[in-house]
Structure 1
Amino acid sequence: MRIVSHRLGRQHRPVVERVTRIADEAGRLAARHARSSLGRVELAVTTTKGIPDLICAAHERIFGTSDWDAWHEQGVAGCTTIRPGGSLVVINAEANRGCLDEADMTVIHELVHAAQVNRRGMWELVARGLAHNYGIEPMSDREVWAANLRRDRDEREAAAAERLHRQLAKAVA
């Protein structure tokens, strides 16, 4: 797992240090919970304004286009998307500043999404959904419905993994 920081100041250093410290163990817990390996993950720590930069750069390398406005969300603690050959996990240092438990839960949650993306055929399904959203390749209503059901199921699975943050804290203490 490669860890990078983007657009951060000194005030974000504790979050970067925490994410760096827990990343490997959080990855093991997330992969075990999701029953899938993580695959090639790039874990980035950034600010709210840096999130669209990272996501759009990854999507432009895949699709040749992106939509900055679609990814500009205020207050999101983290997000996961695809990148060439793997997944990109983005942790918002501003949203996770001051509460290590929240940061731990966010990292585990997002790494579960990375493990989900690494399941057989999932990277391609996510890419197909994004291509639809970008207007590159339309999906049928039935395909959109199935994709939304899958996303909801995956979100519940990742949310359930957040309870592992106590086990993570003990393991890295």
Structure 2
Amino acid sequence: MKTSVTTHKLPGYGATLRTAKRLTEQAVRLVDRSVSGSMPDVEVTLTTERGMADLMAAADIALAGSTDRRTVQRAERRAKDAARDIQAVSIPRPDGTALILINADRHGTPAEFAVTVVHELVHAVQFGRKDVIERIVRDTRDGLGIERQSRRQAREHAHRLDEEEREAYSREYLANHLVPGATA
């Protein structure tokens, strides 16, 4: 399990990057012990809202396996809309690794970052569970208009997504081990 922390289109955030590397290394060990499953190789990227949209669109295109012009445009539109509303996102990659994108501008303190990175690392572990990647790929392909999924499959995906979110929220207390009082 390799972990890397980088920045994307984020100049002048050297201190933030050093803090993120330290907290991420500690969080990986905590989450790996706490959540059932195995931690994949993880790349954490600190970026801005615009950078998140670019990287999310590229990751969705790679996951869907399509380079059609209309698909690329849909992925970019979807990513821009999503990047406005979220602080971070975990995306599985076709090679079995996980990409975690974090909007550095929405994390003013190490405590906020610790809570977010723990939450997203739980999702990274969940990607290794049975049928999760296939379900995410199917939903991504449906969202990009490549291949439709049945209503039953869409309901199942939404239900499983809610369960996975509840599990990730229930593990956020681990951030207290990284930064005391993070979830207070």
TM over 0.5: yes
Q: Which moved more, 1:34-43 or 1:58-67?
A: 58-67
After the TM superposition, which residues 27-66 of structure 1 pair with which residues of structure 2 at under 5 Å, given as runs?
Answer: 27-62=28-63, 63-64=65-66, 65-66=71-72
For 2:10, the equivalent position in structure 1 comes to 8
- Give 3-state SS (helix, strand or coil) of 1:74's partner: helix
d(CA) in 1 for partners of 2:9 and 2:102? Answer: 12
Q: Secondary structure at the match of 1:4?
A: strand
The percent identity for this pair of structures is 31
Q: How many residues align?
A: 168
1:93 maps onto 2:104 in alignment: yes
Deviation at 1:124, TM superposition (A): 1.7
Secondary structure of residue in 1 paired with 2:161: helix
Match of 2:146 among 136, 139, 154: 136
Pairwise CA distance, 1:123: 1.4
1:30 shift after superposition: 1.9
Give 2:160's match in structure 1, choosing from 117, 134, 150: 150
Match of 1:71 among 62, 70, 79: 79
TM-score by length of 1: 0.89
Q: 2:25 & 2:130 partners in 1: Cα distance?
A: 22
Contact 1:116 1:154 in 2 (8 A): yes
Matched to 1:120, the amino acid is: K
User: Structure 1 residue 75: deviation in Å?
Assistant: 4.8
The yes-or-no answer on 1:122 pairing with 2:127 is no
- Cα distance change, pair 58–117 in 1 and its aligned pair in 2 (3 A): same
The separation in 2 between residues aligned to 1:91 and 1:25, in whole angstroms, is 17
Amino acid at match of 1:167: H
Contact 1:59 1:82 (C-alpha < 8 Å) held by counterparts? no
Instruction: Map Cα deviations across residues 135-161 of structure 1 (whole Å, 9 max, x no partner).
Output: 112111111001000001111111111
Question: What 5-or-longer segments of structure 2 have no aligned partner?
Answer: none
Structure 1 portions without partners, runs of 5+: none
Q: In structure 2, what is the Cα distance between the partners aligned to 1:124 and 1:15?
A: 35
Q: Tell me the TM-score normalised to structure 2 length.
A: 0.84
Shift of 1:121: 2.3
Q: CA RMSD in A?
A: 1.6
Structure 1 residue ranges, 4+ long, deviating more than 4 angstroms after superposition: none
